[in-house]
Structure 1
Amino acid sequence: MNALTLPVLLAGLLSLPTQAAISVRDDDGNTVTVQKPAQRILALAPHITELLFAAGGGEKIVGAVSYSDYPEAAKKIPHVGDNRQFDMERIIAMKPDLIVIWRHGSADRQIAMLRQLKVPIYHSDPKKLADIPEGVERLGQLMGTDNVARPAAAQLRTRLAGLTSQYGKRAPVRVFYQVWDKPLYTISGASIISDAMRVCGGQNIFAAMKVVAPVVTPEGVLAEDPEAIFGTSEKSDPDSEGGLAMWRAFPSITAVRRNNLFRLNGDLLNRAGPRMIDGTAAMCEQLDMARQRRSKP
């Protein structure tokens, strides 16, 4: 290499386009940075898998957890554990360049182990329905799939705005949302499900509870006398009333008296992914049914 060739070569290298690092804020408000678009992603909650697919990154998911079954392609993704325990050896072998987590009651120890891998970690925990399209956009940025994520997020925002405009100012309906019957779990105003009620013009009778998923008593529900009671159906028996059947023993409750015991698809409301907008639409329709029954004897 002669003296003239070296400066020319260096100038050529300097002129090559450089890949800028990508930074976004997660649902904890922490900055998450990847040096280049993520290509090997772990989705450590079912709703996260759905968010990543909606953002155009389904093919980039190398590992997921149990019950990550939507869309259909998600069923083929290898599992690395469930919400109780991750398989750390398998996670390490997958060499992820981005880990998307959901923090739940037993997650802190597992997340501490994940942080030891020195891989960027994005925490996904939407608190409001409006956070869902935000999450789609941010994950799209981290994966370099903005061309898919942005229009998908825009479509979700349009649908949500339409539901809010259509139902949000209608006569309020007092609602009890039953997560489980043994023990009797519900949700407080801090839950994203309570925000879905708000969009529909519903009022969560236990919104003031301090715990996100508190245990209540049948007597407490009776004292609040909800106009509508919601439960979720099981995939194995979608036509069964399940835990809602217990309320038939209390015919004095307004919800029972007016036949406002409603079942919803649990996957649509208990997962804070894009399909939750569909679950909210179903809730809105049923709350409108409760309004119409006010005039019936």
Structure 2
Amino acid sequence: MRAVQITEFGGPEVLRLVELPDPVAKPGQLLIEVDAVGVNYADTHSVEDSYLSRSTLPLVPGGEVAGRTADGRRVVALTASGGYAERAVAWANMAHELPDEVSDGAALALVVQGLTAWNLLRTSARLAPGETVVVHAAAGGTGSLAVQLAKRFGAGRVIATASTEEKRRLALELGADAAVAADGEGLKERLLEANGGHRVDVVLEMTGGPVFDASLAALAPFGRLVAYGMASRTAPEPVAAASLMAHSRAVVGFWLMHVVGRPELHAKPMAELLELVARGELRTLTGEAYPMSEAARAHQDLRARRTTGKLVLDPRR
């Protein structure tokens, strides 16, 4: 089969299209004929071995696929790795059958980003009705869903950040009450101004560095910052316990792998998200569909913030 593999760690340039043997499903696993592959920012970290879990060479990246099982069922699945290929294996309990109304691209927008957005708000932030939520990278895969879900879950005000005016307009179309520039300098002041001069209750933060620091400074007493990424590849300043105590604020980490094996945090939310999309009540943003042979270009565009919505690889090209 055709697959994208790395044999050394590095940037997008180490991604190579190769021929590999078909994977073999173990007991409890499904072999999936892949129709579409989801691309996540975490993939760029895996390729350079800078993610939370260490990568092992040789590696076929990719944590999510949509396709068909041997018995013809159409599914979307979370995989440990191996997604950038014509065939992949996934544990059966991490695969979800797809309604006819949900496209492959829409399904792939949910299996990592949708579950992340749901758990950021429900599980980690424990959003309460009427609270103000800041969503960074609001035009991206997770952010665009988090904006919509925050409103659905009762947020009183949603403030989006994005890197361009076009992306900020999109966040407003998705339901954000305000949208501001994403860069770290002056960010605290822009967030407070967008919230009528008041501090904010919840921040969903995946950039790190100065954006993390400014977001923490903008939190109200009993506010929660949920950190779920470090796209800037810059660590924030260390957070002192005394500072958290002095302002009665919290920093919470989230990694999607911790929902695995917990149906209440994975299977039930996924069923809810699929139903919302099928009914037209949740909008997924489908970005560019790249040929699998151009996986390196997809990573380049993602790292350069040239993309909007969910990126997909087509294994047939």
TM-score between the two structures when normalised by the length of structure 2: 0.33
Larger Cα-atom Rg: 1
Higher relative contact order (CA 8 A, sep 6+): 2
TM-score between the two structures when normalised by the length of structure 1: 0.34
More helix by share: 1
